[in-house]
Every structure is written in C-alpha cells, then in structure tokens.
Structure 1
Amino acid sequence: MESQHSERELHALTTPNEEGEQATKESKQGGWITFPFITGTLMGLTLVAGGWSSNLLVYLITEFNVKSITATKIYSIVLGCNFLFPVAGAVMADSFLGSFPVVAIFAFVSLLGMIMFTLTATIHSLRPQGCAVASYTCETPSNLQYGILFMTLLLASLGLGGTRFTIATMGAGQFDKPNDQGTFFNWYFFTLYFASAISLTAIVYIQDNVSWGLGFGICVIANTISLVLFVLGKRFYCQVKPNGSPFKSIARVMVAAIRKRKKLETFGRQDYYFGFTRVFIKMEDNLPTKSFRFLNLAALKTEGDKQLNGLYARSWKLCTVEEVEDLKTLIRIIPLWSTGIFLGISIGNFSSLVTLQALTMDRHLGPHFKIPAGTFLLFNFLATVISILIVDRFLLPTWRNLAHRTLTPLQRIGIGHIINIFGLMGAALIESRRLHVVQTHQLMGQPGLVVPMSALWLVVPLGIVGIGEGFHFPGSVGLYYQEFPNSLKSTSSAMVSLLLAIGLYLSPAITGLVEQITGWLPNNINDGRLDNVYWMLAVLGVVNFGYYLICAKMFKYQNVEDSNGPLGPAP
C-alpha cells in the first residue's frame, strides 16, 4: 500500500521545502560584509567574559571575604553555568528564536551583569569590609550582599551563555561555500583566543594592581560597543529561521515505543515506516537494527497510525526508522561520553585550587612586576592552543607517514586521559614541595604570608594538563561530530561543553566531601594537605581511564568501516 501513494507523499514533503529554499536564496544577504560586525562583537564579548570569569576566584576572596574553599565551590558552579548556558543558548537559537535575537538579548543581559560587577566593586556598602586574605576574623558578606553577588554572577553567566556558541553558528550561516565557512571558523577561534589572552593579562592586571572598578568598567565599555556594533549590522545579516528542536524527535521515539510496548512479536521490514528521505532505499536494505529492539516499535506501522486519507505520517505514535536509529546512536555513545565527566571534575578542581596556591606563593617576575594569581590560568590556555597546533601540524602528519594510518578520535581521547593523570601527579609533587617550604619557614597558622617559593613552578602542571586538553577535547569533538546522527550535527559540538558543565557542577560536591571527611582543605591551605587532594584526583583519573578503556572496547564506529581495537587507528 505504501508504494501506491509514495509519490504523492514525497511530493508533498519536498515541494514546500524547495519553494522555501528558493525564497530564502532570493532574500539572503550575508557574506563577508557581515564579518567585521560579527567578529568585532565576538572580540568585545569574549573580552568581557574573560574580564570577569578569569579573576573571579580572586575577587571573591579578596573583595568579598569569601573563605577560600567556599570561593572555589562558587567558582566551579559559575564555570559550570558558563559551559551549560551556551548549550541552552544554542538550542534556543536553533529551535525557537533564531540567532540574531538570542545574541542581541543576551549581549544586553551581559551588559547588565557587567554594570552590576562595576557597582559591587565601587560601592563599598555592596561588599564587606576588607581584611587580610585567609584571616579568621574577616567580616562575612551579608545576605543582601550575597544576593546582589549571585544576581550579578547569574546575569554575567547568562550573557556569556546566550552569545558564545550562537554567534559562531550565526557567523558561519552568513556563507554558502564550505571554504568560506572554514575561513570564518579560523578567524573565530583566533579572535576567541586573542581576546581571552588580553583578558587574562591586561584586564586581570588592572583589576589586581590598579582598580577592580576600572577593570570591570572597561568590560562595560567593551560590552556596550559590542552590542551597538552587532545591532548596526542587522540589515546585512542573513537570518535563518529556526527549524524546531531536534530533541523533539527523540522524545517522540520514546513515547511511540512505550505506546506500542505490548506488540513484542517479530515483524518484517515491510512492517516499519521508513518515510521518504534521500536514504530511503539504503535504509530499507539495512534497517532497523536488532540492538535496542524495543525502540523499533516506534517505527512499527499499525492501522491506528493511518490518517483519514489512508497515508502514514510521522506523529507521536509513529516515527521513521531513521529517527529510531538516531536515538540508538545516542544511546551507544553516552557511556563513552560519560568518561569525560571526570575530566570536567578534575579541571574544575585544579583550576580553582591552583589559583589558591598562586595566592600564597611568590608571584614576582623581577623586582617590580607581580603576576596576578588569575593570570596563571593563561599558561594552561597557551599549552592547550600550542598542543593543538603541534598535533595538527606535526604529530598527525608524522604519525600518518610512519604508520600509514591516522590517529582516531578514540586514540586522541585516550592520550588526553593519560596526560591529565600525569598533570595531576605533577601538581601533587609541587604542592608537596610547597608545603615542605611552609613547614621549614614555620608559616602554618599565619594567613596572608607569602611562601618563599616561586609560583612559576605551577606552570609545569598547568602546561601538562593543558596539553592533555589539547588531545582530549578536539578528539571528543571529532568523535561526536563523526558519529552523531545528521539531525544532531549542530548539537554534537556542544556535547563537550555539556560534559564540562556536569563535571564542574560535581566539582564542588567532591570538594565539599573532602572538606567534611578529611582535614585536607582548611581555609588556609598552608595548614592543609592539598597534595593529598591532587593524589586522590590522580587515582580517580586512573580508575576513570580503566572505565574509558571498557567503553572504548565496546564502542563500534558507525561511520568508519574498520578500527583496530579500542584505541586502534582506523584506516
């Protein structure tokens, strides 16, 4: 019966789309004329994001008298929001509002957040009286002061979240040719790195050595310029209408399968609904697969699925086999994806704890220059960027020439796990040395005193962890983009951000648990055993790597014909 009306249904499905595409092409603008508007907006907003987030831990401790361990928990939660909100912003733009309204609205929200930051830094009544770092007699923030602080952090995080990924998608959407899109992304990442470097150096230095109010004020100006510049380019932008959420089809598969859960007998391919897609014939020859067979019920045709005209159509009772297989692909990759959550936990703990270490160490570079504690994360950032360049330009071509095959995404992820473990071990050894200096000079119980040990030692573990990130995260993005179904390609790049968000949200829980059970994390880390925390994270990293090997062993590439073992290279 399906073959009798396939032509009618196929025509009904394709004709409106072709007309819509033609209309879109006729009215489309875009092109390189939009480049200065979008890149300038990205430059300013990235400068703003780095200007408040990179030095946030120091601001909480030195200006709001938040205890160091409590500050690390707040910092990790905020970082988690900074990685989670961009995922929500991208989904909102792709599914409901479109890119331009989302970027414009949340750039304004970001401006409100920066104005609030400036007010908290300049109006003394909005923060407690200052005192020595880690002192036990500091005045704690009042409920009102905490409320204003948290509202400020929420606005700033929302502003970052609604713009970071969305402006990249919007920028690429201005071009038709893949080469132009590739060129845009090269400039996008260059601008992102360049603006972040300025934030981690110049703005952080102004905040630490001149005035917090001036540092945040510069961010207000940059945010205002970015917003105005972005709006001025509106008439040049090609604005793509949202197509609806791809996650709706996932929900439909689950609902349809549950509705038909009692039909457990065996069916033939002719009993399933394939729809009319470009891969219609190929899908009929190979699908549905036998794994997760329960979900196949969602594509099973029944008399109740027919419409009044006698045709089958997608609904909350009937899905295509392609939609079912898309959900199966996600289920297969989730265990492998989950192995990266620990990376988010370790990175969240490490990035906050290493800043606490820097605050207690000698940060002088020569007799007159003192490196801000928040700037030390720049070394992690630089190591990641440099390692990505070396891997792409040297390691991968060399490996390909010697082994006649390339590194697979699974290999790169596995190498990243191993390097991360060595980075945590290096951090533990350096902290042991720092505590030895503390004991030698009898600095225990004396908050605010500088340990006579150069903070440049922290560059070593920061660099090692950064190199690990240079392997792990590009490998993860490559794997997800390669293996995710076509309907979720735009979401695949956000999976790493979601992974980091979950890990960073769990990071304060780990810190709180260690704080309650052990005495390793007192307010004054000179009296604690931060080295044991790093050793604990390294051991957990080894366990997590074992879990990764199991998941990699069970995983099978869907879009690569062959692979040699769990970490073996694909041809």
Structure 2
Amino acid sequence: MAGCFHCIWNAITNFIKGAMILGPKFPDALVHRIFFVMQVYLTNGWKLSFTHAAAIMNFWEGMSLVLPLFLQFLADTFLGNLLVALVSTISSIVGIGMVALSVPGILDHYDGRCPRAGVQSCVNHKQEALFFTGMVLIAIGRAGISFSLDALHDEQNAVSNCWQKFTTKYLDFAVWRYKLAIYLVGSLLIFIFIRKWRLLFGIPAVYSACMGISFLCGSCCCFYTHPKPKGSPLSSACRVLYAAATSKNISQPRFFHRFPRCFNRVLASEGESPDNVRTFEQQRVETARFIVQMVPISMTFLVCGMVSSIGNTYFVEQANHMNRRVGSWNVPLLALQLPVLLFKLFHDMWLGLIFKYGKKRLPIDLAVTGIALAMLYSVLCCITAAGMEMKRLKVIRRYGLVDKPDDEVIPMHAAWLLLQFFLLAGLDSFLRTSILEF
C-alpha cells in the first residue's frame, strides 16, 4: 500500500514538475504570433520604410534561428540544460517587457518629448534602445527555449516507472492541446479584437512573467535535478575531423563507399582501444560523418529560409494595404493567423502520417524527398507571390493610386493572398518535418 502511494505521489510530482518546466513555451508561442505583424508595427507605428523594417525583422529572425546551435553547444559542454533554460526564460521575460515599454505613447507620455497629436508616430532614443535590446533578448530567449525546456523535461523523467511514464504521456498530450489552444483561440479571441499596440505587447509580457516566475520558483526551491553535461557531438566531430585531416594512416578503409572516406583512417580497429585523439570508436566517427554530410544539405535551408522570411515581411505588408473587409467587418491583419495556422496543421497532420507509416513501405528516403518538396514549395510560393504582385500593381495603376499616400486601401481583396500563404505553410512544414526526420 505504501509503495502504491509512493508511485502515485511521484506521478503527481512529475506532472507538476513537467508543467512548470514546459510553462514558458506557451508565452513564447504567443510572442511568435504577435511578431507576425511586427513588420506592420514598424512601418505604421514607427513610420519606418519597408526596407528598414524588413531588414530589422529578417536580422532578428536569422539570429533567433542561428543562436540555438551555439546555445546547444554551451548546454551540452559546459552549462547544462537547466542553466540555459533559466537564462533563456529570464531573457525572454525581460525582452518582451522592454519591447512593450518601447511602444509609442507609454514612456514619452511621462517625459513630454512627443506632442500628443503625433504620439503614435514619435519614437525617442530611449524607446529605440528599449526596443532593440528587447528584440535581442527575445531572440536569445526564443533560441534557448526552443530546445532546453524539452531536454530538461526529458532529463527529469529519465528514470520513471509505469505510473510516471503514463503521466508523462498524458502531460505531452495536455501540452499539445494547450499549445493548440494558444495558437488558435489566443490568436483569434485576443489579438483580433485588440487594436492598441501597448496591449498586444503588454498581455504576452504579463503572461510570460507569470509562467516564467512559476518555472524560476521550481529552480529556487531545488525542485529540478541538474545532471552534468555529457559533452557536445559537435566538439567530438571537430576532434574526429582534425584527426582525420592530420592522420598519416594510408591503410585501406573498411567502408570505402561511405563519404567522407578519410574518416575511416581514425576508426579504431577491432580489439583496439580508442584513445579519442588519433583513433575513435565507430559511434563518434559516424556522428562526425553525419554532421559533415549535413553541410551540403543545409545549403538548401538558406533558400527556404529566405522565402520564409518574405512571408513574415512582404506578404504581411501586402495584406496591410489591401481590402480586408468581410461584409461590414474590416478583418484585422492578425486574423490572417487563422488560415495560416490551419494550413500548417493540415500539412503537419498528413506529413506526420506519411513519415510514420511510409518510412518502411516506401522505397525512397523520406527526409531527402521532404527537403526537395520544400524547395519545390518555395519555388511555387515565389511564382504565386510574383503573380499576385503583378495583379496588385495593375489594380494600383488602373485606379490611379500610384501617387497616393501609403495608407490608401487598394481595391483588391486580401483573400487573393491565401494561396501563397498556403504554399508558405507547406514550405515550413515540409522543411521542419524533414529536418527532424533527417
């Protein structure tokens, strides 16, 4: 009886611990939804040019995608997932708070630097410093949260019995449902009906602080275990690569068909004890081989990333100047999140089924095929976007809107852009699923 009670208590503790660890992921998803219209915020609220605003957003997006590799190396080699998760959570909380304070009409209302009539288009140096510092902190937080919380959750449940495994599966299902609710209900019921930028940034700032404090309280109370870092595969691959490049062993490689063949020089022979300096075990060599093979494939990620960045900048700016009325309701720009999310869910659903059941039945490499299809989607997306832009320019010339102000509404409905958003969602789903499978 005591053993059963102990199992139930451990299961409840694991459930609470997992909820506290994964909590900061949800405000991070909420911030990601808001940044869908950050391009419009910079052009309308800050009165920046399209090129300037797009450069800011593309640089931020690129930084948030590159930083996980560096932070993952630090977590695996020196700091551990718990410390990286703590720093990332604090960085995300402070960052979104600073961006919320940088909105025109908050700080300048107290120091009187901006007149009331132009408060929506006036930004002082204090707000600029807050905004750019906050964007950097959000990028660091987003990069760390993207991997550290899941890894920390797995570490806490590394040793578990049947009750704890059941609890972990139930928690994963609850997390999936909660994340879906945040993506759909949050985007529709909160963002669509909020027109003030200070509320659009302020609500996620408060929510992020609440979930982050919950996670930090668990750390302060020593609620989480802190396993030592086990070492990074990247550092091991670098040692193997250096040893292979400087090796003078010219013996016949055992796996002549495997690329790169020079790695076979440092592979420890049968019965030989690897010294991890000049000779290595097969697992380390295969890991280094995989990383080197990923380099040419990763070049395709740059093309897909450039097309994806267009969706968060140029596509949103297109919709901002087009007719978005449905009957008497002028649909807010954030309402475009609904079809985009539905398109992503559609692609993720059938892609997950194909990768799950077709891996052993189809005579093709699904990961490589998925990356190729992502490239195809990117080409089709660019062709479709170019066609829609030509149509939009014809409408502008037809109605004599070339010399009109930028806030003039073009008499062309934003529904014409749904096809390119559909292709963009397919591109993101194919690329993400294929990378994980690869």
- Quick check: 1:250–1:327 contact (8 Å CA) kept in 2? yes
- Quick check: 2:351–2:433 contact (8 Å CA) kept in 1? no
- Is 1:455 paired with 2:414? yes
- Tell me which residue corresponds to 2:214: 229
- Quick check: 1:206–1:212 contact (8 Å CA) kept in 2? no
Which of the numbers 405, 423, 426 marks the counterpart of 2:384?
426
The Cα shift of 1:247 comes to 1.5
Q: 1:396 to 1:299 in 2, by over 3 A?
A: closer
How do residues 53-68 of structure 1 correspond to structure 2 at under 5 angstroms? 53-68=35-50
Percent identical pairs in the alignment equals 20
TM-score for both structures, normalised by structure 1: 0.64
- Quick check: 2:101–2:130 contact (8 Å CA) kept in 1? no
Q: CA RMSD in A?
A: 3.6
* Counterpart amino acid of residue 260 in structure 2: F
The Cα shift of 1:68 comes to 1.1
- What secondary structure, in the 3-state scheme, does the structure 1 residue paired with 2:330 have? coil
Q: 1:434 to 1:46 in 2, by over 3 A?
A: same
- Tell me which residue corresponds to 2:238: 251
- Tell me which residue corresponds to 1:100: 82
The Cα shift of 1:444 comes to 0.4
CA deviations over 1:190-237 (Å, ceiling 9, x no partner) = 444432335544454355x1x222222212211111112112334443
Question: Whole-Å Cα distance in 1 between the matches of residues 359 and 277 of structure 2?
Answer: 48
- Tell me which residue corresponds to 1:469: 428
* Counterpart amino acid of residue 40 in structure 1: G
Q: 1:419 to 1:45 in 2, by over 3 A?
A: closer
Question: Whole-Å Cα distance in 1 between the matches of residues 258 and 427 of structure 2?
Answer: 37
Question: Whole-Å Cα distance in 1 between the matches of residues 355 and 93 of structure 2?
Answer: 42
- Quick check: 1:126–1:145 contact (8 Å CA) kept in 2? no
- Quick check: 1:127–1:141 contact (8 Å CA) kept in 2? no
Which of the numbers 273, 277, 292 marks the counterpart of 2:260?
292
Q: 1:40 to 1:265 in 2, by over 3 A?
A: closer
CA deviations over 1:409-449 (Å, ceiling 9, x no partner) = 23333333323322332222222222221111100021210
* Counterpart amino acid of residue 27 in structure 2: G
How do residues 73-472 of structure 1 correspond to structure 2 at under 5 angstroms? 73-121=55-103, 122-124=106-108, 145-176=127-158, 184-198=171-185, 200-205=187-192, 209=195, 211-234=196-219, 235-260=222-247, 263-266=248-251, 291-299=259-267, 314-367=275-328, 369-393=329-353, 408-446=366-404, 447-472=406-431
Question: Whole-Å Cα distance in 1 between the matches of residues 244 and 115 of structure 2?
Answer: 60
CA deviations over 1:223-275 (Å, ceiling 9, x no partner) = 11111211233444344322122212112123323443xx253268xxxxxxx
- What secondary structure, in the 3-state scheme, does the structure 1 residue paired with 2:411 have? strand
- Quick check: 1:29–1:237 contact (8 Å CA) kept in 2? no
Question: Whole-Å Cα distance in 2 between the matches of residues 45 and 471 of structure 1?
Answer: 22
Q: 1:179 to 1:453 in 2, by over 3 A?
A: same
- Tell me which residue corresponds to 2:6: none
Q: 1:350 to 1:189 in 2, by over 3 A?
A: same
CA deviations over 1:348-374 (Å, ceiling 9, x no partner) = 12331011101111122332x333324
- Quick check: 1:255–1:316 contact (8 Å CA) kept in 2? no
Which deviates further from its counterpart, 228-237 or 380-389? 228-237
- What secondary structure, in the 3-state scheme, does the structure 1 residue paired with 2:280 have? coil
TM-score for both structures, normalised by structure 2: 0.81
- What secondary structure, in the 3-state scheme, does the structure 1 residue paired with 2:408 have? coil
Q: 1:128 to 1:83 in 2, by over 3 A?
A: farther
Q: 1:143 to 1:228 in 2, by over 3 A?
A: closer
* Counterpart amino acid of residue 331 in structure 2: I
- Quick check: 1:413–1:472 contact (8 Å CA) kept in 2? yes
- Quick check: 1:58–1:373 contact (8 Å CA) kept in 2? no
Q: 1:127 to 1:406 in 2, by over 3 A?
A: farther
- Quick check: 1:42–1:191 contact (8 Å CA) kept in 2? no
* Counterpart amino acid of residue 430 in structure 1: M
The Cα shift of 1:347 comes to 1.0
- Quick check: 1:86–1:166 contact (8 Å CA) kept in 2? no
The Cα shift of 1:170 comes to 1.8
Question: Whole-Å Cα distance in 1 between the matches of residues 79 and 433 of structure 2?
Answer: 29
| 5+ residue gaps, structure 2 | 1-9
* Counterpart amino acid of residue 295 in structure 1: F
- Quick check: 2:255–2:264 contact (8 Å CA) kept in 1? no
Count of aligned residue pairs for this structure pair: 414
The Cα shift of 1:300 comes to 6.9
Question: Whole-Å Cα distance in 1 between the matches of residues 422 and 238 of structure 2?
Answer: 42
* Counterpart amino acid of residue 419 in structure 1: Y
CA deviations over 1:137-179 (Å, ceiling 9, x no partner) = x988666654443212111211222222211222233334677
- Quick check: 1:54–1:200 contact (8 Å CA) kept in 2? no
* Counterpart amino acid of residue 227 in structure 1: G
Question: Whole-Å Cα distance in 1 between the matches of residues 121 and 211 of structure 2?
Answer: 38
- Quick check: 1:62–1:130 contact (8 Å CA) kept in 2? no
Question: Whole-Å Cα distance in 2 between the matches of residues 329 and 346 of structure 1?
Answer: 26
- Tell me which residue corresponds to 1:528: none
Question: Whole-Å Cα distance in 2 between the matches of residues 131 and 455 of structure 1?
Answer: 31
Q: 1:441 to 1:418 in 2, by over 3 A?
A: same
Question: Whole-Å Cα distance in 1 between the matches of residues 71 and 330 of structure 2?
Answer: 38
- Tell me which residue corresponds to 1:40: 23
